[in-house]
Structures are given as structure tokens and as C-alpha cells.
A and B are shown apart, each in its own frame.
Chain A
Amino acid sequence: MTTILCRFGELFLKGGNRHIFLQTLINNVRAAVRGLPEVKVTAPHGRVVVCVPDQARAEACSRLERVFGLVSISPAASLVPDIDAICAAAVAEAQAAIERNPELRRSFKIEPHRSDKHFPLQSHEIACRAGDAVSAATGIPVDVHEPALRVGIEVATQAAHVFAERRPAPGGLPAGVSGRAVLLLSGGIDSPVAGWLAAKRGLAQEALTFHSPPFTGEKAKDKVIALARHLARWQAVSTLWIAGFTDTQKRLRAAGRPELAVVLYRRMMVRVADLLCERAHCGGIVTGENLGQVASQTLTNMRNIEVAGKHLILRPLLTYDKVETTALARRIGTYDISALPYEDCCSLFVPAHPATAARLSDVERAEATLDIAKEAADIAEQAERIVL
């Protein structure tokens, strides 16, 4: 069996709500490792511990590295709290670590932590004994100030853990502790990143995408589904709603001057998201909008779009440069999916010269020619729901 020690950060700061945060984190960890054979998740004081058979270790680590709220994880040897066993494990872990990365040979340090104060040796004595053992077995010098390799030893009443690897986890807050939101998801680069960032701050999300057959094909739809599935691996979204937009889009296009079209479409998307918020008990809408990136993303037009709905609109990418968004998309693994070529839901319907500062009265006059509330209700009603 491998024991994976999972550390969390900010949760400690959350005072009276701490137990709620912790419970959500534990639930998310359980969900992340669900399906692995003989997996066990426990939560002793101050951390979450996952036990899996050795052959599931790599898969468990890669899943835990995607759990928001965790700051780092360490696969560890788990043993009875006995100093000889601890020293042997420290040697084994150190040797495994320098085999993975020979640069760690430069120097090492033992970092002991003794929560069982009945253990016969004190922390610095544990460090001396284990340090001597590692030094003798590997020949690596000790450097207590800037070691290349850190071997952690944690001694509790029931068990001791020894580890030499700390893998970073994404940090943030456990998805769900900040509430629920609807994510407007397209096949582009930005909106998946926005959803990831929102999840990082603890939002659980349901994704909503718009599909305009025949102007968008099956492959464009599959691409959004693939993006949603990828976000689900980060526990950023749990559900994807696919809303048919063609007929409404045509009517909106005919309702006003061509340059208003984009604002009209976006306002309709917000209305549909609003209805889904109510249906799915969500408190806000997350979008990939970015200040000044395209014509609909001016201050004036964002305001025009926002007032069409009742819910708070969150724009995690508001101030990101395209290079920053792209770099993050690559890091979280959505970029390669977003870069597929299929026509997106609105690119055909976009006028040559969209208005950068539409007058709200013009927009509302155009909408007054349609039964706007019914259009939104019909779209939301007929949306297809995919549980990811």
C-alpha cells in the first residue's frame, strides 16, 4: 500500500466555517479517487490521507494533483512508529528520490515532525538518527539551510510516515465551498480557463454552451463536450447543458441593425444562463470575457449584456492578456482541445463591424420586436443535459 499525504492551505484561515471547508475538501478528494481499487480516504488532524495499493499510486497522485484546496501531496511510506524502521524507510525514500532526479545528490536534510509526544526520541534525535543512516547509505552531505533533498518524517501514535517527494497541487479552495455558478462555455480558449479559475476559488459549476446547427457541426459540439469533460477532471464542472440557438439567433439577427447582433446574442445567452441558475440553484454566471478583447467586451457592452440578467456575472479573465490565458490553458490541458479548428457557435453570425458601444435603448428596441422572455425560456427548456 502507498499512503499519500495531502496538505491543504487556506482552509486554516476560515475560522468558524473551517469544518464545512474541510468536509467539502474530503468529499472532493473522495470523488477524485473514486473508482480506484481498495482506496481509503481518512482525515486525521490537519490533513487528508489517501491509501491505495502500490500499482494505483501514479494514477491516484495525478488525480489528487487536480483537487482544488490541496497545496501539495506526498506519496509516503507508512510504517509502525519504530526508529529502526523509520531510518530504513528514510534511506529507501532518499535513494528512490535521487534515482528519479540525480541532482538531488547535492545535499539533504531530515525534516522530522513528532505529533506523538510519547515517542521515545525527540524530533532532533529522530533527525540525527535518520540523517546518519541516509548519509551512510548514500554519501550525500547534509545541508540544513538549503538542502536539495528534503526527507520528511512524521511520527503519530498509530503510524509513522516517511517521504522525500512533495508534488504541488493547485491550491485555492475546494470546489463547492464558494457556491454554485453557471459557466458559459464555448469551444474557444478563454471560457474553459475562466471556469478553471472560478473553480480554483471554490465555485462548483454547471457549464452551458450554445449550438447553432447547421452553422455549427457535430465536431464543434464534440469539442465543447471534450472541454467540459476535461474541466470535470478538475471538478470544475459537473454538468454540460447544450442549448440550441439557431432559430433565436436568426430572429435576433433580423431584429436589429447588424452591428447590434453580438450584443443581442450575448444578452440572450445571459438570459438563458439566468434561467438555468434558477433551475440548478446557482448564484452567478461565469464567463470568459476579457476587457477590450473583442467588440462586445468594451465597458459599455459588458454593461449592456450584464443588465439583461439578474445574476452576478463573474469574469475571471477580465484583465488577462491573451498570452497569459493561453499559457494557463496549456498548463491545465484545455489548449489542445480548444485549438481544434471547427467553426464556433457564433463566428458566422458575427457582423463585419460590430458596435463597440451599443446604445441600450437601441438594443432594447430591437428586442421589443420579439417575445424575448419566451425565446429564453424555450431555449432553456429544450437544452440537452449531459452529466459529465
Chain B
Amino acid sequence: MIVYLDNAASTPPLPEVLAAVAHAMTDLYANPSSAHGLGAAAARALAQARSEVAALLRAQPSEIVFTCGGTEANALGLLGAAALARSRHMVVSAIEHPAVLRSAESLVGKGWQLGKVAPAPDGRVSVESVLASLRPDTAVLAVMLANNEIGTLQPVAEIGRALRAAGRKLHFHVDAVQFAGLIPVDVETLGADSLAISGHKLHGPKGTGALWLRKGARVAPLWDGGRQEGGLRSGTENLPGWVGLGRAAGLCLQDPRAGVAVAVLRDQLESLVMQAIPQATFTVPATTPRAPQIASLRLPGLPAEPLLHALEARGVYASAGAACSTRTHGPSHVLAAIGVREQDAVLRFSLSRLTSESDVTAAARALREAVDEIADVVKVRPRGTRP
């Protein structure tokens, strides 16, 4: 039995996606830029995929730039905007994914100044603190929609509205990698300039992603070459991957209520765990706006990695919110930012549209047993007293 609750790390590709990828690899092998009929067939498939991704984000197909994944899409949005900026101040939230955070930090050595907005203990950055950290010369701002570790939703649309109200002319980039797929995204309402998604987080193939770039917003390409993707992303199109991403996006759209159903299962998992394990707590309050698929639970005084292995032995696959089980690892930057102690395990169970109620009950039961097994051993060495 496999109970796969690590969908925030990667989702299984759907059969329709596999079929679309196989079809593209088998029959659409020509280069979409070629002038002949086979090239035209490939170009049509690519256009179809672009439309499907645009539809998922309620955007125009011409606003979609395909990439090799969420990291590249984030880099293109952030570094691409920075390359064209007139001033050199950037603001990001302190709990961004490393794809954004390290891209931003990479500019610090190149004359940029970087401001980081700390979250409140509930794992959200406030609109006020974002606005307060902006300077007249701030050129780029990045805030994620849903945090990948703890699932908290950030007030992106409110920030976008406030920027517009204040008449700010800066590039507002949004990482939607953990958000898109289950909840409808409407880029028009976000007030953002660019937004990144990843294929394998929404049952598409790995190695695929896309950047939505608002019509009129400009970024510089990260490299040059054959100038595919409107000149923003040189390199022969990954047609099978992007066709698969298009199909995955289309399937998300067919199931607009999926986010609600997944949230119900997530709540069920959390309440089962809370009943079964008295010492378990929410990493952030359950009332915090959160992505529907992520349950982040804190188990005081227990090591995360052995708990994961104990869960795995029972067929349940999850992740640590932070790999703080070994001496070489501290808590992640996200958990540190919201004040999680190093000696507490934070486990992340992440669901998908494929998760069933029996998965959730099995996971709660397995976690109960795993906690018993590990707690029995670690009482030898109270984690808090470790040198």
C-alpha cells in the first residue's frame, strides 16, 4: 500500500498527461520552428498547450513563456526584471522558496540592495509590512502565493491593489508554484507583473514550467540563442513536456472544485491527528488562510527524519517541514522565521486531487504508531538538552 502525501514535493503525472507526452514524443518530433507540415503540427500542439496554460491562469496565450520548471520561471521573472530595472533595490518576503530567495540574494554582490519582509508568527507577511519595506527606488518585489513548507497564503492580491493605489511602478513577481492547480488563479485580480508555475506540482511532467508575463511588462531573457518563446527563452521547445503541462493545466480546469474537496480531506487529516496524538499542534493556526493541500504539523521534542522513516515503513510518504533531525541541519529558513524550535519535528503532509479519505485515515493511524515508536527511543536523550 502506498499512501502518497508528498504532493507539495511532486505529484504523480495523470494518465492523460502521460498519453499526451507519449503522443508528442512519438508523432510530434519535428521542430516547431521548421517550415514543413510536421513542424506546423508541432507548432499547433505547442499553441494548444499555451492556450491551456493561459486558461488555467485566466491569461492570454501570448502572455505565457514556457520554461524548464518553476525555478527557471521564477528566475526569469525576478532576474529578468532586475536586468532591465533603472534602480537597484529589491524586496522579497523572507519565506520565499530558494528559487526566489537565492536568485534575489545573487544580486546583492552586483550592486543591489535587498530587503526581506519577515512574516508574522502565523506565517503570513502583512500588506503593511510589505509596503513599509518599499523604498522610492524599489524596482522589484516578489511575494509568493502559497508557502511550500507551511502552506500559508500570502495577501498577494491585496498587495497588488495597494501598489496600484499608491501608483507604484515596480515589477511585482509572484511565485504561484504551490498555488496553481487546485485553486483557480486569476492573474488579472492579482495586480502582478509576472507569475511562475511548475508542471510537476499539478500532475504534469517534471522539467516543465511557465512564466506568465503581463502584456506590457518586460523582462530580459536569461540567455540568448534561437529566440524561441518570444525571444525570452532560447532553446528548442520541450514539446512533449510542454504539451504534457498543457494537458495537466486543462485537467485542473475541468475540476474547479478540487481545492475545496482537498481542503476537506486536509482538515479531516488534521483533526484525526489531533485526536490521536495529544502533543501534536498546528505549525500555524488552523484559521490562517492556507493552501488546501498542505497540512503542516508540529510534534514537540521529536526528530523529524526518523518519524518519516517510521511512516514510510507503514506505507505513508510525507516530508519534513524542515530536515532538522541531524546535527548538520538547522531548521529551514521558513520555520526559523516563524519561531519553530530546532528540537521539534515539523511534518508536512501534502495532498492532491488523487488523495482519498482512506489515505487520510491510514496516514493518521500510521503517524500515531510512528510517534509511539520514535518517542519510545528518544526519551533516552531529551532533544532539548542536546549539546
Contact = CB atoms under 8 A, between A and B. Distances in A.
Among A214, A253, A350, the one with the most B-chain Cβ atoms within 10 Å of its Cβ is A214
B387 A352 contact: yes
A351 B381 contact: yes
B328 A341 contact: yes
Interface in B336-387: 370, 373-374, 376-378, 380-382, 385-387
Contact of B381 (A215, A342, A352): A352
A352 B313 CA distance: 27
Contact of B313 (A213, A250, A347): A213
B385 A341 contact: no
B306 interface: yes
A211 to B, nearest CB: 11
B323 A341 contact: yes
A253 B377 contact: yes
Interface string A346-372: 011111100000000000000000000
A253 B376 CA distance: 11
A214 B385 contact: no
Interface string A234-259: 00000000000000001001000010
Majority secondary structure of chain B interface residues (helix, strand, loop or mixed): helix
B309 interface: yes
Contacts of B329: 341
B380 A217 contact: no
B377 A215 contact: yes
A336 to B, nearest CB: 14
Among A215, A258, A349, the one with the most B-chain Cβ atoms within 10 Å of its Cβ is A215
B191 interface: no
Interface string B168-210: 0000000000000000000000000000000000000000000
B310 interface: yes
Given A217-B305, A253-B377, A341-B329, A352 B382 contact: yes
A341 B309 CA distance: 15
A384 interface: no
Interface string B310-341: 11110000000001011111000000000000
A7 B310 CA distance: 53
Contacts of A217: 305, 308-309, 312
A341 B387 contact: no
B77 interface: no
A1 B329 CA distance: 51
A215 B303 CA distance: 9
B380 A253 contact: yes
Given A214-B373, A258-B381, A349-B377, A341 B326 contact: yes
A343 B381 contact: no
Contacts of A250: 376-377
B306 A214 contact: yes
A216 B377 contact: no
Contacts of A227: none
A213 B377 contact: no
A261 interface: yes
Nearest to B327: A347
A373 to B, nearest CB: 24
Nearest to A258: B380
A350 B312 CA distance: 23
Contact of A213 (B303, B309, B370, B386): B309
A234 to B, nearest CB: 26
A217 B312 CA distance: 9
Contact of B386 (A214, A261, A352): A352
Interface string A116-159: 00000000000000000000000000000000000000000000
Contacts of B306: 214-216, 343, 348
Interface of A: 213-217, 250, 253, 258, 261, 341-343, 347-352
Given A214-B309, A214-B370, A250-B377, 17 more contacts: A213-B309, A214-B310, A214-B311, A214-B313, A214-B373, A217-B308, A217-B309, A341-B323, A341-B326, A341-B328, A343-B305, A343-B326, A348-B306, A348-B381, A349-B380, A351-B381, A352-B385
25 contacts: A213-B313, A214-B306, A214-B309, A214-B374, A215-B306, A215-B309, A215-B374, A215-B377, A217-B305, A217-B312, A261-B380, A341-B323, A341-B328, A342-B305, A342-B326, A343-B306, A343-B326, A347-B326, A348-B306, A348-B377, A349-B377, A349-B380, A350-B381, A351-B381, A352-B387
9 closest A-B pairs by CB = A214-B309, A214-B310, A215-B306, A217-B309, A352-B381, A214-B313, A258-B380, A343-B305, A352-B385
